[in-house]
Structure 1
Amino acid sequence: MIAVRGYDGRRVAVLGLGRSGLSAARALRAGGAEAVCWDDNPAAREAAESEGFQCLDLAQPGAFDGVTSLILSPGIPHLYPAPNRVVRAAWEAGVPVDNDIGLFFRSLGAAGWDSFDMAPRVVAVTGSNGKSTTAALIHHVLAEAGRAVELAGNIGRGVLDIDPPGDGGVVVLELSSYQTDLARALTPDVAVFTNLSPDHLDRHGGMGGYFAAKRRLFAEGGPDRCIIGVDEDEGRYLANQLAEGVGDDRVIAVSVERKLTGPGWHVFARKGFLSEYRKGRQVGSIDLRAIAGLPGAHNHQNACCAYAVCRTLGLAPREIEQGFQSFGGLPHRSQIVGEKDGVRFVNDSKATNVDSAAKALKAFENVRWICGGLEKEGGLEGLLEATGSVVKAYVIGREAAGFAVQLQGVEAEVCGDMARAVRRAVEEVQPGEVILLAPAAASFDQYDSFEKRGDDFMAEVAKYL
């Protein structure tokens, strides 16, 4: 655990007692603070009380008397579509609002590293798609190379749950826009921006607010090195804003759409080959085509970002390639569930928006596509250009019929639930085809999470394997 610094003897409120909230309360207590907690879920309050935390409804009058700060869990709105009532109460009381990410950076920076030969480094990864795989891949490659490394944030453990990094240690964080938007301290050594596509727009008041939340990771903390995906205008803008001039190698540009040239530091992938260029000359390359854990152009972008980070941290191209070869991928992200009679079954339940589903479709040929769920803002029009590989779509979700109508030019069957969708796809599939779950929608109309949806898909597939 990383004990929170700077709050010794102070009273701090914690709203939301899920993984990050409860770990924040523990870390505050370890640092000498008094944590006062609240969650609307009685079971969550009971769990906190069993650990000795006081639970107090923070929306009640006087709840913020004597409180120094409010620590907010990422799932709770702090501005859009409307501020939570407790956030409003904190504003009225003049109490600063922060989150566990802000506490982490403030506390980590207060650690005494004078006796270390090499100070710990923090790598923070954000973006719309691919940040989990990128963060996990960085962690895997560093671990395979013998580096002391921990993975936390929006993946794995809460940031305050990890052990304080030791001499030369690395902490890899996946950070969502919810986390970067609110944190009062953001000071990574290396920051990664994978890409940007419409998502969570209700929480950020539109695309401008969404991008601004991501941009804070770079603008607020001034990382020593920035790895920026430049295949969208936002990434190109961000790279331009961060560079001090032509050839500034503190900014590493990443692309999977074009060869990057010029005097700077570039990492790009074309036709399955990753290339690293510095000062106009190639200095490294990796053939990504046979790496089973990184299928498709979207994973090649993840590989480019991870490669750039690991090069920044001193690894040689050969070490990175060895780590790539042994990477098994993440559950629910282009996860190959199995193969039988020439048919592959792939679980990409994490493809919850149009852009991520399009990338999943482009990674495979001859696809029997299981899709549908709670549709996000913007419709499905942006997905249609990626459906050339689709043999047939099998649509699930409560609004399956309306979803299917939007799949213009694609043969679609309304199935409703996962069991029927998998059964019908298996009945019609031919050798050489892929049965792919890539919903292009949230899961909450039928499942508690995208993980539960992916688990259901794998359970149904298991009946046929």
Structure 2
Amino acid sequence: MIPVQGYEGRAVAVLGLGRSGLATCRALAAGGAVPLAWDDSPESRARAEAEGIALHDLARADWSQIAALVTSPGIPHLYPAPNRHLAAALAAGVPVDNDIGLFFRSFATAQTIEMDQPPKVVAVTGSNGKSTTTALIHHILTAMGRPSQMAGNIGTGVLSIDPPQEGEVIVLELSSYQTELARALTPDIAVFTNLSPDHLDRHGGMGGYFAAKRRLFAEGGPDRAIIGVDEIEGLFMAGQLAEAAEDGRVIRISSGQKLAGPGWNIFARKGFLAEYRAGRQVASIDLRAMPGLPGAHNHQNACAAYAVARSLGAAPRLVEDAMASFTGLPHRSQLVAEAGGVRYINDSKATNADSAGKALQAFDHIRWLAGGLGKDGGIASLAPYLDRVAKAYLFGHSARDFALQLGEHPHEIFDTLEQATASAIAEARSGDTVLLAPAAASFDQFPDFEARGEAFIAAVQAGHATHE
């Protein structure tokens, strides 16, 4: 646990009692604060009480006696409208923060500052690939024998990690919800993977979404910024952060284009990762045979993780060896079975069209499972990749909308993912890939993308596919 500093003897309201909210209550108490915990959900309040956390109805709060409000990432604080408790805190002039802000505020202690090798924090954000990038960085460090913990939007809540030891690297995945509200953001190394439309209702449009991501770099001034430049936003931000073209504090990364110039550039083309410094190549890695990193989108993730490892002083060959043993994350281009020459790929994390497009580009002869709660634009942007799709199997709330956007391309509509999977299995032939890349949120039929992915795996098993 990371005890929260700066609120000793003072009351701090905690709104939202999920994983991060409960951890925040414990960390505040450990630091000597008095947490006032609340959640509008009776079920969440019951879970908190079962853990011995005292509840305090914020509708009756005396905000003049409260030092700060800490809110969970899922609770709206600005758009489309702030939560009523949060609005009351703002009206009273009470500072609003989240667990990420508390973590950065409390990470450095007298003990860590006195270490010969103080621990470092790497923070990863972006629209797609941040979970895989975070996990790959953690894997590389662990494989090389360097102590590391992984937390944030993946795995453990940031305040629940163990106090860092000398030389340790904490690797955080941070969503736009987390970076937008945190009052402190001071990573040693910050990574921006890419940007595509997502969560626009929460950020008031694309500009607000980009601004939320950009705060990770603008607020704390990381020692090293690793920026994906395949979209104009990343290219713009890299230009803003660098003092000159040769400024090595900014590492530009790309998947698909060769990066030139006198700076520090890392890019992947045709399955090969290349590192250039001062206009000269210093390393190259063949990514094509790495089973945990299929497709161009994962090659971008590899570039980002490689850049972090190099920034921390790792030798290229050690990084390559570590990457080769990475098996990938569940629900992200995950090979779940292979039978009769047919591969079954679970990419349930592809919750928008952009991430689904990256999955479609990674495979051929695809029987594509798509559907759920579609987002703005649906799947219209995926038309260029339909030559890879033998047939689409559409399910859930947006199935008919997706069907209209597919036009004459072969497709069929089903009520459920299970029905769609059974049909794809029955029609698949040797050389095909049955791919779940929904291009939609899961909340019409599942609590989250993980549950949707598990349902797909169960349906594949029920269809008598044999695991390798």
| TM-score clears 0.5 | yes
1:289 aligns with 2:288: yes
Write the distance in 2 (CA, Å) between the matches of 1:399 and 1:79: 28
Write the distance in 1 (CA, Å) between the matches of 2:250 and 2:67: 38
CA shift digits 1:264-323 (9 cap, x unpaired): 000000000000000011111110000000000000000000000000011111111111
1:100-249 equivalent positions in 2, closer than 5 A: 100-249=99-248
Shift of 1:407: 1.6
CA contact (8 A) 1:56 1:63 kept: no
CA contact (8 A) 1:384 1:408 kept: no
Shift of 1:114: 4.1
1:448 aligns with 2:454: no
Write the distance in 2 (CA, Å) between the matches of 1:111 and 1:4: 14
Aligned partner letter, 2:26 = R
CA contact (8 A) 1:57 1:63 kept: no
Q: Which residue in 1 is equivalent to 2:327?
A: 328
1:27 aligns with 2:27: yes
Shift of 1:57: 1.9
Write the distance in 2 (CA, Å) between the matches of 1:355 and 1:166: 39
Give me the identity figure in percent.
64
Q: Helix, strand or coil for the counterpart of 2:335? A: strand
Q: Which residue in 1 is equivalent to 2:12?
A: 12
Q: Helix, strand or coil for the counterpart of 1:402? A: helix
Q: Which residue in 2 is equivalent to 1:337?
A: 336
Shift of 1:402: 2.1
Q: Helix, strand or coil for the counterpart of 1:55? A: coil
Q: Helix, strand or coil for the counterpart of 1:165? A: coil
Write the distance in 1 (CA, Å) between the matches of 2:35 and 2:51: 11
Shift of 1:109: 2.7
Greater shift after overlay, 8-17 or 412-421?
412-421
CA contact (8 A) 1:357 1:439 kept: yes
CA contact (8 A) 1:369 1:390 kept: yes
Shift of 1:13: 0.3
Q: Which residue in 2 is equivalent to 1:414?
A: 413
Aligned partner letter, 2:446 = Y
CA shift digits 1:205-247 (9 cap, x unpaired): 0000000000000000000000000000000000000000120
Q: Which residue in 1 is equivalent to 2:54?
A: 54
Name the TM-score, length of structure 2 as normaliser: 0.98
Write the distance in 2 (CA, Å) between the matches of 1:11 and 1:393: 54
Q: Which residue in 2 is equivalent to 1:430?
A: 429
Greater shift after overlay, 315-324 or 120-129?
315-324
Write the distance in 1 (CA, Å) between the matches of 2:407 and 2:289: 34
Greater shift after overlay, 38-47 or 76-85?
38-47
Aligned partner letter, 2:7 = Y
Q: Helix, strand or coil for the counterpart of 1:156? A: coil
Aligned partner letter, 1:44 = S
Shift of 1:409: 4.6
Q: Helix, strand or coil for the counterpart of 2:266? A: strand
Write the distance in 1 (CA, Å) between the matches of 2:18 and 2:62: 21
Q: Which residue in 1 is equivalent to 2:368?
A: 369
Q: Which residue in 2 is equivalent to 1:317?
A: 316
Shift of 1:382: 1.3
CA contact (8 A) 1:126 1:214 kept: yes
Write the distance in 2 (CA, Å) between the matches of 1:421 and 1:49: 42
Unmatched runs of 5 consecutive residues or more in structure 1? none
CA shift digits 1:23-82 (9 cap, x unpaired): 01100000000001001122221222233322122123x442411000000000000010
CA shift digits 1:108-137 (9 cap, x unpaired): 134432431111110000000000000000
Write the distance in 1 (CA, Å) between the matches of 2:421 and 2:173: 32
Write the distance in 2 (CA, Å) between the matches of 1:185 and 1:290: 40
Q: Helix, strand or coil for the counterpart of 2:373? A: coil
Aligned partner letter, 1:51 = E
Write the distance in 2 (CA, Å) between the matches of 1:398 and 1:416: 8
CA contact (8 A) 1:122 1:189 kept: yes
Aligned partner letter, 1:296 = G
Write the distance in 1 (CA, Å) between the matches of 2:110 and 2:53: 26
CA contact (8 A) 1:347 1:438 kept: yes
CA shift digits 1:245-272 (9 cap, x unpaired): 1200100000112111111000000000
CA contact (8 A) 2:256 2:270 kept: no
CA shift digits 1:145-185 (9 cap, x unpaired): 00000000000000000011111110000000000000000
Aligned partner letter, 2:38 = W
Q: CA RMSD in A?
A: 1.0
Write the distance in 2 (CA, Å) between the matches of 1:63 and 1:371: 49
Q: Which residue in 2 is equivalent to 1:38?
A: 38
Q: Helix, strand or coil for the counterpart of 1:330? A: coil
CA contact (8 A) 1:358 1:387 kept: no
Instruction: State how many pairs are aligned.
Output: 464
Greater shift after overlay, 37-46 or 181-190?
37-46
Q: Helix, strand or coil for the counterpart of 2:111? A: coil
Write the distance in 1 (CA, Å) between the matches of 2:110 and 2:406: 54
Write the distance in 2 (CA, Å) between the matches of 1:387 and 1:375: 18
Unmatched runs of 5 consecutive residues or more in structure 2? none
Q: Which residue in 2 is equivalent to 1:461?
A: 460
Write the distance in 2 (CA, Å) between the matches of 1:113 and 1:437: 45
CA contact (8 A) 1:5 1:110 kept: no
Greater shift after overlay, 406-415 or 327-336?
406-415
